[in-house]
Amino acid sequence: MKTFENFLTALDAGILTVSFNRPQALNAMNAESVREFGEIVDLVETDPAIRVVILTGAGPKSFVAGADISRMQSFGAFEAREFMLAGQKVLFRIEQSAKPYLAAINGYALGGGLEIAMACDLRYAADTATMGQPEIFLGITPGWGGTQRLTRLVGKGIAKEMVFTGERITAQRACDLGLVNAVFPKDQLLEEVAKVARKLVALPRDTMKMAKHAIETGYDMTNTEANLFETAICGLCFGQDEQREWMKKFLNK
Ligand code: CAA
């Protein structure tokens, strides 16, 4: 894979690990990193060697400390809107991706950092990580989905508490709220997330793609529509190589 100014990438046995890498700003995202992030997400879609993606932060302290405040300071309304839209477009592509994204939250996941993690399919955190939507302290609201994905993940009451107060929560509290799937000791985080990734690589690729599609697309439908959509997705799996192979394997033990 090509090299990037603001990211490190490593591909091993179908698992692409992408590290946000702007250590001078705790991996905060400027317009150039948003552009590069979009490029990586596009590459993931087209490279059949990539089965699962892990997002994490380079360095010991931070996943992503949000959008780059020094760059945002001078934004006008339209420029800010473009920047927010550019980030949101990348996050939509992650949700619509055919491949699973896992966030390994190794430290601060604040503002845009938490918003990136929330667009991933699965989230795991180091026991030392903290998360929050501190935009209120900057006189702005979240702009990369924090008012929406957070609300859907933890409910209105907790989302409002986090967005109104801007206070950070611990990894354990995030896990209790269902915001992260599990918490691991900091030095074991990447290996534990890699274990999950390896499990996913060994499972039927197209079926997982369809499962993600059913969950993501069904989420915005009415309950009846979503369940009917699910029947169509499940029906589509039948007759595919993976269904024949995996059912045969079960029946043959
Ligand atoms: N943007 C730009 N620079 C940042 C940054 C950010 N979001 N977060 C940290 N940095 C920089 C600091 O300015 C500092 O730079 P210098 O060494 O040049 O002074 C460096 O990273 C280290 O940071 P600290 O010295 O502050 O480290 P700390 O450990 O004392 O504190 C922190 C860490 C709690 C994360 C603190 O840096 C902080 O509060 N950062 C801002 C977090 C934030 O508000 N994020 C939301 C941004 S808005 C957003 O994301 C909108 C959206 O929805 C997309």
65 lines ligand 1 (CB under 6 A): yes
Cα 26 to ligand 1 centre (Å) = 6
Q: What is the pLDDT of residue 199?
A: 98
Closest residue by CA, ligand 1 atom 20: 25
Average pLDDT on 48-72 reads 97
Could you tell me the two tokens for 249?
Answer: 């394997």
Percent of the chain scoring above 90 in pLDDT: 99
| Confidence bin at 118 (pLDDT 50/70/90) | very high
120 lines ligand 1 (CB under 6 A): no
Pocket test for ligand 1, best of 21, 37, 69, 163 (most atoms within 8 A of CB): 69
Annotated catalytic residue: which of 5, 82, 115, 216? 115
Cα 20 to ligand 1 centre (Å) = 14
Q: Is residue 47 predicted with pLDDT exceeding 90? A: yes
Q: What is the pLDDT of residue 253?
A: 86
80 lines ligand 1 (CB under 6 A): no
Q: Is residue 27 predicted with pLDDT exceeding 90? A: yes
Q: What is the pLDDT of residue 36?
A: 98
- Tens-place pLDDT, residues 216-228: 999 999 999 999 9
Start-end of H helices in the chain: 31-46, 69-72, 77-96, 112-119, 149-154, 156-165, 171-176, 189-201, 205-219, 223-237, 241-252
| Confidence bin at 233 (pLDDT 50/70/90) | very high
Average pLDDT, the chain: 98
68 lines ligand 1 (CB under 6 A): yes
| Confidence bin at 197 (pLDDT 50/70/90) | very high
Average pLDDT on 128-135 reads 98
Average pLDDT on 201-220 reads 97
Amino acid at 45: E
Could you tell me the two tokens for 75?
Answer: 């934004």
Q: Is residue 1 predicted with pLDDT exceeding 90? A: no
- The CA-atom distances, in angstroms, between 50 and each of 16, 41, 192 are 6, 11, 19
Cα 28 to ligand 1 centre (Å) = 7
Closest ligand 1 atom, CA of 137? 44
142 lines ligand 1 (CB under 6 A): yes
Average pLDDT on 122-147 reads 98
Annotated catalytic residue: which of 82, 135, 225, 242? 135
Q: Is 115 a catalytic residue?
A: yes
H or E element, residue 184? strand 182-184
| Confidence bin at 108 (pLDDT 50/70/90) | very high
Q: Is 167 a catalytic residue?
A: no
121 lines ligand 1 (CB under 6 A): no
22 lines ligand 1 (CB under 6 A): no
Average pLDDT on 180-202 reads 98
Phi, psi of 60 (to 5 degrees): -85, -15
Q: Is residue 17 predicted with pLDDT exceeding 90? A: yes
Q: What is the pLDDT of residue 198?
A: 98
3-state SS, 31-61, equals HHHHHHHHHHHHHHHHCCCCCEEEEEECCCC
Q: What is the pLDDT of residue 229?
A: 98
At residue 109, the 3 state secondary structure works out as strand
